[in-house]
Structure 1
C-alpha cells in the first residue's frame, strides 16, 4: 500500500480551506445605479443598474414605486450585459421613489437589493415650458394693433346716454327757437300785408263818424 506524502496533502487541504470562502463570496453585486442612491434630481426617464458581472437575461425584476406605493415603471427591464435598464413613465411628479431589484448573477445565484431617490423641479420646469410656449405662440403686434391701441376708448353706456340726452336737449332748444322765429316772421309778414294796424283803422273810423255828425248838424241848422 502506497502512502501519500503527508506534507503535500496538508498543503492541498489548507489551500482548499482558503479558496472555499473566496469562491462562496464570488457572487456578482450591484456596483452603481442611475439615479444613485439618495440622489435628488429632475424626473429621470429610466433607472439603470450596473453589476460586477454578467446578469442572466431571465428572472430580472425592477420595481419603482412612489410615496403612495404606486408603481411607475413602464414595461419589463432589459438586460444588457452587466447592466439592467428599467423604463419609467413620463413626467414623474416631485416626490420620493423606492427601487427594489432582483436579478440572477452569472453563477446562477439570485441577488437583490433596494435604494431610493427623489424627484424635484419637474413641476416648475413644466410651468416654465408652458409659459415659454405661450409667449412664443403669441402673435407679434402689427401696425393696425398699434393704431387700435392709440384710438380713444368707446364711451360706456352711461356716457352714451348722457350724450344722447344732451343732443336731444340741443335739438329741442333749436326747434323751439326756430318755431318762435318762424312765428315772429309770420306775424311781421301779416302786418305788412294788411296795411295799417287796427288802432289806425279805429282812429280813421272815429274821425269819419265825427265828420258825418258835424255835417248832419250843419245841414239841420241850414233848413231852419
Structure 2
C-alpha cells in the first residue's frame, strides 16, 4: 500500500511534470508508491519493486514509471520483468543507453548469446561514455561466463587504454581491470589500478582503498587518507 503521508517535493520535478496528465487522485497514489520505492530500494529491494510495479500499473504508458519499474525490478533480481520494461522503455524513448542493462538482464537469465547480440547493437549505437563502460563490463562478464577469460581481459584492457568516460564510470572500469590483474597474480599492477579507481571515486562507492590495504598486508581501514599511489590520466570527457 502506498504511504498516505509523504512529501511530494521528494520526487524530481521531471517526474511530477510527467504525472500532470494523470488524474489528481491517481497521481497522488503513484507519487506515494514512488516515494516508498525510493526509500526502500537499498534496504528491501523486493518491497521497493512491489511499489514500483504498483505505480507502473496505474499509468503504464508513462516512460518515467517504466524506468522506475525496470530499475527496481533489476535491483530486486527480477531480471525477466526488468528486461520487459527496459524493452518497452527503449521503444517508447528510442534511447539506446538501456542496451547495456538489457544485455546484463539477458546474461543473468542465462542467455549469453542474446546478451552478445544486444552488446553488438550497443557497439554500433551512439552510447554515452558512461554506458560504453557499462557495455564493456557486461561484455567481459558474458565472455567469462562462456569460459573465454582471455577475451574478457582483452575487452577490458582495450577499454582502459582507449575509452574516456566520466570519473565514476572510469573508476568502475579501472577497478574491474585491477581485479583481473590480481587474479593473474600481478599484485603490483592490480595495486596501481585499484589506486586509479580510488582516485576516480571521490564518493567512495567502491572499496578500492580496502583492496590496496589487503595487497599491502594491512587491515582494511576504509580511510581515504591512507597512502595511495595514483597514475596520471589524460583529460577526461564528460557526458554531453
Please report the TM-score for the alignment, with normalisation by the length of structure 1.
0.19
- Rg larger for: 1
Q: Which structure's relative contact order is higher, taking Cα pairs within 8 Å and 6+ residues apart?
A: 1
TM-score, normalised by the number of residues in structure 2: 0.18
The structure in which a higher percent of residues are helix is: 2
More strand by share: 1
